[in-house]
Amino acid sequence: MASQLSRIMRPDDANVAGNVHGGTVLKMIEEAGAIISTRHCNSQNGERCVAALARVERTDFLSPMCIGEVAHVSAEITYTSKHSVEVQVHVMSENILTGTKKLTNKATLWYVPLSLKNVDKVLEVPPVVYSRQEQEEEGRKRYEAQKLERMETKWRNGDIIQPVLNPEPNTVSYSQSSLIHLVGPSDCTLHGFVHGGVTMKLMDEVAGIVAARHCKTNIVTASVDAINFHDKIRKGCVITISGRMTFTSNKSMEIEVLVDADPVVNNFVKRYRAASAFFTYVSLSPEGKSLPVPQLVPETEDEKKRFEEGKGRYLQMKAKRQGQAETQA
C-alpha cells in the first residue's frame, strides 16, 4: 500500500532566505504517514480507528527546498506488528519551470491505531503482505530497536528549562528559547488530540530560533534525531515547547527540544512531558554556503555533561556516514 501528496511551496512556508522551514516538511511527512496508516488500519471490518504518531526515526534533510517548488511526498507501509505500523516516506522537490526533481528527505515513522470510541484503546493492526521473507525479518529488527529506545528515552530529560537574567553570548542560556501554544480544534485529530505534524512544526520553530540566536545568520535544519511522542496532547492544553543548545561542532549545532503539556482545565492531571527530540542545524551565508558556528560555552556541570553526550552522538553519526560512503564506493 502506498500514497502520495503534492503541494507547491508558498512564501509563508519559508524563512527570509527562501528556504522552506524544516517543520513544514516534517508536517507534510506526518500527514502522508497518518493517511496511509489510518487507511491500512481500517482496511478490514472491525472497530474504526485513527492512526496516531508514536515515533519518528532520524530524518536527514538532504537538500533544501525553495519557494515555488512542488513537494511530492510518497508514503509506503513497510512493516506491521500487532499494534503498530511502520511507514517509510520520501520527499522529492520539483522545479516546475525546468522539471528537475531531487530527493530532499527520507523518514521512517511509527503509528499506533486508536479506537474512535475510546482514545485510550489501542487496536490490532491488520498484517501486511510481504513480497520477501527477509522484509518481515528486517522490519521486526527495526521494530524491536525503536521499542527499546523509546523505553530508554521516556523518562530522560525530566528537567524544565529555566530563563536566566543577562546571559553571556555563546552560552546555553543566551540562546535558549520557549514558545507557549494553546491547543485549538485546528491543531487536532478527530479524537481531539494534537496532530504529530503540528507538534513537530512547533518544535522545529523553537529549535530554529535557538540556532539563529546563537549564530546570528541564516540557518536551516540539517537533521532531526528520533522524535519520541511520550503521551498524547489533548485539545485545550497549553503546551510549552522549550529549546536549548547542547553541542556545537565546527559547522553544526545540536538543539534539544522538549514539549510539556499542561491541561489547564483539568485539575486532576498534572503537567507532563509529551515529546522530546534533538535537532541539528547548520549556518549558511547569503550565498547558501556553510559557515563556521560560534562554539558553545557550557557553564554548569549539567551543560558540560549534555555537551559531551551531544559530542558522542555527533561522532557516532559522523562515523556512520563515513561507513556508508565507503560501502557505496
DSSP of 68-120: TPEEEEEEEEEEE-SS-EEEEEEEEEE-TTT--EEEEEEEEEEEEEEESS-TT
- Give residue 159's pLDDT band: very low, low, confident or very high (50, 70, 90): low
Identify the pLDDT of residue 194: 94
DSSP helix/strand/coil, 269: coil
Q: For residue 187, what is its C-alpha cell?
A: 491543531
Q: Do residue 188 and residue 284 come from a single domain?
A: yes
Catalytic status, residue 15: yes
d(CA 256, CA 22): 15
- Domain assignment present for 217: yes
Q: Do residue 269 and residue 127 come from a single domain?
A: no
- Domain assignment present for 81: yes
Q: Do residue 204 and residue 92 come from a single domain?
A: no
Identify the pLDDT of residue 158: 57
Identify the pLDDT of residue 45: 85
Distances (CA, A) of 91 to 68, 98, 134, 205, 276: 15, 18, 25, 20, 23
Q: Do residue 223 and residue 303 come from a single domain?
A: yes
- Domain assignment present for 166: no
Identify the pLDDT of residue 33: 96
User: How confident is the model over 100-114, as a mean pLDDT?
Assistant: 95
Q: Do residue 117 and residue 235 come from a single domain?
A: no
Domain boundary among 112, 133, 154: 133
CA count, 13 A, side-chain hemisphere, 39:
13
Q: Do residue 108 and residue 196 come from a single domain?
A: no
- Domain assignment present for 160: no
Identify the pLDDT of residue 152: 66
On the question of pLDDT at 14 being above 70, the answer is: yes
- Which residues, listed in sequence order, are joined to residue 61 by a DSSP beta bridge? 105
Q: For residue 113, what is its C-alpha cell?
A: 491505531
Identify the pLDDT of residue 11: 95
| pLDDT-wise least confident of 37-46, 153-162, 268-277 | 153-162
Q: Which residues contact 113 (CB under 8 A, 6 or more apart)?
A: 37, 38, 41, 49, 50, 51, 52, 83, 85, 122, 123, 124, 125
Q: Do residue 122 and residue 211 come from a single domain?
A: no
Domain boundary among 83, 114, 133: 133
Q: For residue 180, what is its C-alpha cell?
A: 507557549
d(CA 66, CA 93): 9
Identify the pLDDT of residue 131: 87
User: How confident is the model over 21-49, as a mean pLDDT?
Assistant: 94
| pLDDT-wise least confident of 27-36, 164-173, 240-249 | 164-173
User: How confident is the model over 27-43, as a mean pLDDT?
Assistant: 95
- Domain assignment present for 141: no
Q: Do residue 178 and residue 310 come from a single domain?
A: yes
Residue 188 per-residue DSSP state: B
Q: What does residue 228 show for φ and ψ, rounded to 5 degrees?
A: -105, 130
Domain count, the chain: 2
Between 211 and 3, the higher pLDDT residue: 211
Q: Do residue 8 and residue 86 come from a single domain?
A: yes
Domain boundary among 81, 115, 133: 133
End-to-end alpha carbon distance in the chain: 33
Q: Residues in the chain, how many? A: 329
| pLDDT-wise least confident of 70-74, 270-274, 318-322 | 318-322
Q: For residue 150, what is its C-alpha cell?
A: 523509546
The pLDDT tens digits of the residues spanning 56-85 come to 998 999 998 999 999 999 999 999 999 999
- Give residue 156's pLDDT band: very low, low, confident or very high (50, 70, 90): low
- One-letter identity of residue 304: K
Give me the domain span that covers residue 291. Answer: 172-328
- Domain assignment present for 146: no
Nearest to 172 by CA among 222, 225, 244: 244
Identify the pLDDT of residue 323: 78
Q: Do residue 96 and residue 236 come from a single domain?
A: no
Q: Do residue 120 and residue 222 come from a single domain?
A: no
Q: Report the CATH number at residue 33.
A: 3.10.129.10
The pLDDT tens digits of the residues spanning 185-231 come to 999 987 889 999 999 999 999 999 999 999 999 999 999 988 999 99
Identify the pLDDT of residue 265: 78
* Long-range contacts (CB closer than 8 Å, 24 or more residues apart) made by 118-122: 119/191, 119/192, 119/193, 119/232, 122/83
The pLDDT tens digits of the residues spanning 229-257 come to 999 999 999 999 999 999 999 999 999 99
- Domain assignment present for 162: no
Catalytic status, residue 204: yes
- Domain assignment present for 99: yes
Annotated catalytic residue within 13, 204, 225, 260 = 204
Annotated catalytic residue within 15, 60, 157, 170 = 15
Identify the pLDDT of residue 133: 86
Q: Do residue 98 and residue 179 come from a single domain?
A: no
Q: At what angle do helices 22-41 and 196-215 cross, to 10 degrees?
A: 160
- One-letter identity of residue 141: K
Q: For residue 149, what is its C-alpha cell?
A: 529506545
pTM over 0.85: yes
